[in-house]
Amino acid sequence: MPQELLFQVTPEIASNEMVLKEHVAKLIRLDAKEIQHISILKRSIDARQKAVKFNLKVAIFKVGEPLVETKIELPEYKNVSNSQEVIVVGAGPAGLFAALQLIEMGLKPIVIERGKEVRGRRRDLKAINLEHVVDEDSNYCFGEGGAGTYSDGKLYTRSKKRGDVTRILELFVAYGASPDILVDAHPHIGTNKLPQIIQDIREKIIEMGGQVLFETRLTDIIIKNNEVQGVVTNNGHTINANKLILATGHSARDIYELLDRKQIFIEAKAFALGVRAEHPQSLIDSIQYSCDYRGEHLPPAPYSIVKQVGGRGIYSFCMCPGGVIAPCATSPGEVVTNGWSPSKRDQATANSGIVIELKLEDFKPFAKFGALAGMEFQKSIEQKAWHLAGGSSFSEQAKQTQKVPAQRMVDFTQNKVSATIPKTSYVPGTTSVEMGSVFPGFLTQILREGFTEFGKSMRGYLTNEAILHAPESRTSSPVRIPRDSDTLEHLQIKGLYPCGEGAGYAGGIISAAIDGEKCALKIGEVLKR
């Protein structure tokens, strides 16, 4: 059996295999020649002291010991071409992992996705960035792989109680992700690498007899005696099946409207909303690593910060070291920001959502919309930001603008319009706006106080080098589709399985994938009876 060891080392030692072996040999009082191999089991960074260290957990294989390293392989999938069919709406992580789990159990998934396949999405992302044209079915939120595919690919989740995180990570590795995601404390695939993995998952679904239908939008759910009978799509086709996994993501407003129209029970859900802040990555490095230059052995520094202001949490969300800010609107006449990083995290800027937790009472001005009140609150801010950034002009160019309101951070805290806004990583561009005009007064005040508090905890964070972009509004679903905690079926409609972020039961790639598997497993249990 290999010996396991937990210890700290400098970045220089952690990054050099031979030097690491010599260091470990000294720790266990062996000659380095007596060690044949060291496997890293866990890796994280400790930047609490001035001298930054790596925490490593390793397995040490001595000469003569059998060197057995686990090879991660795909599950034994069955061909399901002629099996019972289950409809899966949405090809994000919840939908794709639900489909894979269904195949494992011998069931045939029919995946319908309103957007395009993962490669085809790129043209539409280019259009929103360079031409300011929003395709309502193909954008950063909609399309194969879901919102995470082209907005970072972070795999970290705090939701350990939701299910088997390791299984999901291992499946990603089996489909081509770096094994590093099994080791790193905050695993990350990267927007540049995730598309190929998503494509390989889809090809496996089809190879094993499942179906994946792109540019196919759900327009109706066929229900008889409060039980699902099938769905109708935008091309007029009907797909019959009495089990439906609804995994449409947190931005599928038309689905919430459809459910509301059909009097299928849904409820307003609180979410978080704010701005996306961009700093030079070198500044974040100097704050987090307490150095002028981080060197070649440390990765671009992330940060995570949480404060309580006015009885509400204000916190960093989806922090992207070495990343850029992206336009994530899903309809013309609105603007939305998000962030992503390539796998190397080698961009010159760092960005993070800085968001405030909302309460259901905040949606009272939109009470006439019932369960959709939070969604309408969200929409109103996105539309106001669009107008303030230039969309209120009558020129055709301005009508489809994706510019966003922007302000220097210190200027924002001082209620002062920024005289200039430097070029940021947000490609469609910015308009200098006093950010307080974007948000309700109570949110503006909390943001101002929050940034001041952040500056006290992270010296140098509160600076006019930092540029705020508004809004960061798609943090989670503004609607919950309630389901039975045991069966995972909708409380009212049999055979309907609300799933993932869009239903209010996940918050990121990993937790969505886990929820997709859970829903598929419940269906398998029912059909085996």
Residue type, 500: G
CB environment 339-371: b (16+ within 10 A), e (fewer): bbbbbebebebbbbbbbbbbeeebbeebeebeb
CA distance 480 to 297: 44
- SS3 sequence of 395-428: CHHHHCCCCEEEEEHHHHHCCCCCCCCCCCCCCC
Kind of pairing, strands 35-46 and 53-62?
Answer: antiparallel
User: 10 Å Cβ neighbour count for 386?
Assistant: 27
Q: What is the DSSP letter of 187?
A: -
CA distance 142 to 328: 10
Q: Which residues contact 456 (CB under 8 A, 6 or more apart)?
A: none
CA distance 396 to 399: 5
Per-residue CA distances from 368 to 105, 256, 364 (Å): 44, 15, 8
Residue 100, pLDDT score: 98
List phi, psi (to 5°) of 100.
-60, -40
Per-residue CA distances from 17 to 3, 21, 71, 303 (Å): 17, 6, 21, 28
CA distance 216 to 237: 9
CA distance 239 to 7: 56
Asked whether 304 and 349 are in contact (CB, 8 A), the reply is no
CA distance 313 to 294: 31
CA atoms 82, 243, 97, 330: torsion sign: positive
Q: What is the DSSP string of 303-363?
A: ---EEEETTEEEEEEEEETT-EEEE--SSTT---EEEE--TT--SSEEEEEEEEE--GGGG
CA distance 164 to 180: 18
Q: Which residues pair with 268 in a beta bridge?
A: 479
Q: Which residues pair with 351 in a beta bridge?
A: 278, 320
Asked whether 89 and 245 are in contact (CB, 8 A), the reply is yes
Kind of pairing, strands 238-240 and 479-480?
Answer: unpaired
CA distance 343 to 48: 25
In 3D space, the residue among 88, 44, 43, 42 whose CA is nearest the CA of residue 512 turns out to be 88
Asked whether 262 and 444 are in contact (CB, 8 A), the reply is no
In 3D space, the residue among 110, 120, 109 whose CA is nearest the CA of residue 143 turns out to be 120
Taking the CA atoms of the chain, what radius of gyration do you get in angstroms? 24
**Is-cis flag, bond preceding 405, omega within 30?**
no
Residue type, 288: Q
How is residue 437 written in tokens? 């005009």
Asked whether 159 and 511 are in contact (CB, 8 A), the reply is yes
In 3D space, the residue among 144, 145, 147 whose CA is nearest the CA of residue 215 turns out to be 144
CA distance 515 to 95: 9
CA distance 502 to 251: 7
Kind of pairing, strands 218-224 and 306-309?
Answer: unpaired
Per-residue CA distances from 45 to 154, 185, 257 (Å): 17, 8, 45
Rounded to the nearest 10 degrees, the angle between the axes of helix 373-386 and helix 253-261 is 140
Q: What is the DSSP string of 6-38?
A: EEEE-HHHHT-HHHHHHHHHHHTT--GGGEEEE
Domains in the chain: ranges and CATH: 3-62 (3.30.70.2700), 85-266+478-528 (3.50.50.60), 271-472 (no CATH)
Exposed, middle or buried: residue 309 (CB in 10 Å: 0-12, 13-18, 19+)?
Answer: middle
In 200-323, the DSSP E strands lie at 211-213, 218-224, 227-233, 238-240, 244-246, 267-268, 272-280, 306-309, 312-320
Residue 191, pLDDT score: 77
Give 10-residue mean pLDDT values along the chain (529 residues): 95 96 97 95 92 96 88 92 98 97 98 96 95 95 90 65 82 94 88 90 98 98 98 97 97 98 98 98 95 90 96 96 96 96 91 98 98 98 96 58 97 97 97 96 97 96 98 97 98 98 94 96 92
User: 10 Å Cβ neighbour count for 17?
Assistant: 10
Residue type, 145: G
